[in-house]
Structure 1
Amino acid sequence: MRQFTAIVNPTAGGSTGVAALLRVARLLREAGAGLETEYSRSLAHAQELAREAGGRGRTVLAVGGDGIAGGIGGTLSGTGTVLGLIPAGRGNDFARALGLPTDPEGLAKVLLEHEPSPVDTIEVESAQGRAVALGSVYAGVDALANRHANHTKVLRGSASYYLGGLRAVTTWRPAAYRVTVDGEEHTHRGYTVVAANSAYYGSGRLIAPDARLDDGLLDVVMIRHAPRHLFFTLMNELKTGAHVHRPEVRILRGREIRIEADRPVPYGTDGEVDAVLPVAARVLPGALSVLR
């Protein structure tokens, strides 16, 4: 029977994460699984706890949203430690890409009975250093929208991202990007460049419909400059992935990506935005074992 260590950040997602854990924890223990819970003080502390638990051969459960999932998953990438998720955040996009059930019973069944599955991760390098992400690297108006959403206290989920998008678009000036995909340089002027490992970002928006977590490739989605009213239409089309058929959207695929711009454009990874371009991303095939 599996032995789990659940890691919760009580200051980020707090009561929501604890409540989600309690619902699943009862089912795990009733089935005979071992479960210990650790409360982290920060993302760095959560990563430290994950490495320590993995070193003891335990399956690590990230309890929360994409930030803690990405932070813990990134630090476990390449270690062989198995990761499970208990989604309890604003977006839960990585859990969505994994196809995890949303009900406690279905999720407990996955954690107890499913075999670990290898998925790709993304090595990210910039002036801020090296990190490993799970879902995507996005540079432009969506990173600015994500930053606004993270600072919204009133709204949650898709509503916070939509409001953040409205705020970001009203002040955005098109940036001139230079995007290098597997050594081939492309110029682009517009709103954003997304290097996607996962199909989803921004709380369920289908930014890269054909992206797969286990194909060894990143889908590079570039949205070029267009009138603002058309961009709002594009935002709505992200719900279904219909935006990919518009001429303003270009999609490339590759293993190594470098994104640069003519000004300090913000970029984010896995729901966290705290840096500016340039940034390089490289896929790490099958580097993380997850329960899905």
Structure 2
Amino acid sequence: MRQFTAVVNPTAGGSTGAAALLAVARLLREAGAELETEYSRSLAHARDLARDAGERGRAVLAVGGDGITGCVGGALSGTGTPFGIVPAGRGNDFARALGLPTDPAALARILLDHAPRPVDTIEVRSAVHDRTVVLGSVYAGVDALANRHANHARLLRGTASYYAGGLRAVTTWRPVRYRVTVDGETHDHTGYTVVAANSGYYGSGRVIAPDARLDDGLLDIVMIREAPRRLFFALMNELKTGAHVHRPEVRILRGSRIRIEADRPVPYGADGEVDAVLPVTATVLPGALDVLC
């Protein structure tokens, strides 16, 4: 029987991550599993809690949204520690990519009974992040600015906060001249964003990279070039289904290592958190995380 440590973001989704854990925790304990709960004070604290639990031979659960999921999963990358997710945030995009159920009973069965599945992670290096590891995607441009607005939204939740953040970001955005190097080959790109996607989802269910796979050892690099704002708003709508990839303004490359540079300070984010500017380098770590899914 597994022993679990749940690392909880107590403010996930604008409420309490603990509330999302309650039903799952009861089912785990009724089945005979041991569960301890730790509340994180920050992402750095969450990493420390996760590593400590893993070193004690426990399976680690991230309870919250993509920020703490990426943080905890990144901390466990390469350690062999079983990693589970209890989705409780605004976006829950990595849980969505894994196909995790929202029903507590179904989720508890997965955490108790399923063998871990190895999935890829992303090593991120920049002037701010000497080295950190994330799970879902690294994105640089208007979407990073939109996500920053969404993270600070107080009245809106979930998809609505991301959509409002996107509208606010696009209205003031000027196209950026990027230099994108994929596995040693450089591409010049002028536009709105560059996304290096391990997961197909970001921004609360938007299908940024429909063909991205979590275990193929590659990143899908999605580049959206300069276009009239009205067209960009149409493209944002198409992100609901992934239909945007058929537009000529969208280019997709694949590779295991990408470096993104720009002609001005451009924000970039990873797994829902935005706290740095380009340049950034992202490298796939194949099969580095053992996920209960």
Shift of 1:13: 4.2
Hey, what's the Cα distance between the residues in 2 that align with 1:69 and 1:17? 12
* Equivalence for 2:20: 20
Separation in 1, partners of 2:13, 2:100: 19
TM-score by length of 1: 0.99
Task: Tell me which residue corresponds to 2:9.
Answer: 9
Q: How many pairs align?
A: 292
Aligned counterpart, 1:47: 47
TM-superposition CA deviations, 1:167-207 (whole Å, max 9, x none): 00000000000000000000000000000000000000000
Task: Give the match for residue 143 of structure 2.
Answer: 142
Q: Does the CA contact (< 8 Å) of 2:13 and 2:158 recur in 1?
A: no
Gaps of 5+ in 1: none
Aligned partner letter, 1:108: A
2:190 counterpart of 1:189:
yes
CA drift of 1:40 comes to 1.6
Q: Which residue of 1 aligns with 2:279?
A: 278
Give ranges in structure 2 of 5+ residues lacking alignment.
none
TM-score by length of structure 2 reads 0.98
Deviation per residue, 1:16-47 (Å, 9 max, x gap): 31111001001111111111111121111111
SS at match of 2:124: strand
Distance in 2 (alpha carbons) for counterparts of 1:64 and 1:139: 23
Q: Distance in 1 between the 2:127 and 2:271 partners? A: 18
2:74 matched residue in structure 1: 74
Cα contact 2:14–2:157 (8 A) shared by 1: no
| Residues 59 and 259 of structure 1, relative CA distance in 2, 3 Å threshold | same
CA distance in 2, matches of 1:23, 1:17: 12
Q: Aligned letter for 2:188?
A: T
Deviations 1:51-108 (A, max 9, x none): 1100010000000000000000111101111110000000000000011001111111
> Which structure 2 residues correspond to residues 1-292 of structure 1 after superposition, within 5 A?
1-13=1-13, 15-128=15-128, 129-292=130-293
Tell me the distance in 2 between the aligned counterparts of 1:180 and 1:15.
40
Q: 1:62 to 1:275 in 2, by over 3 A?
A: same
Counterpart residue type for residue 261 of structure 1: A
Deviations 1:123-172 (A, max 9, x none): 00000121101000000000000000000011111000000000000000
Q: Distance in 2 between matches of 1:13 and 1:144?
A: 19
SS across alignment from 2:216:
coil
- Equivalent-residue separation in structure 2 for 1:130 and 1:215 (angstroms): 22
Measured in 2, the distance between the counterparts of 1:232 and 1:18 equals 36
With 203-212 and 106-115 compared, the bigger mean Cα shift is at 106-115
CA RMSD across the alignment: 0.8
Helix, strand or coil at the partner of 1:226: coil
**Within 2, Cα distance between the matches of 1:161 and 1:14?**
14
Deviation of 1:4 (Å): 0.4
Report the secondary structure of 2:223's partner residue.
Answer: strand
Q: Aligned equivalents of 2:229 and 2:89: distance in 1? A: 30
Question: In structure 2, what is the Cα distance between the partners aligned to 1:276 and 1:46?
Answer: 23
Tell me, in whole angstroms, the C-alpha distance in 2 between the residues paired with 1:233 and 1:12: 30
CA distance in 2, matches of 1:112, 1:82: 11
2:32 is matched by which residue type in structure 1?
A: G
* Deviation larger for 83-92 or 4-13: 4-13
1:120 Cα shift?
0.2
| Shift in Å, 1:12 | 4.3
Following TM superposition, the consecutive aligned residue runs of length 4 or more in structure 1 with deviations greater than 6 angstroms are none
Could you tell me whether the CA contact under 8 Å between 1:11 and 1:41 is conserved in 2? Answer: no
Among the aligned pairs, what percent are the same residue? 82
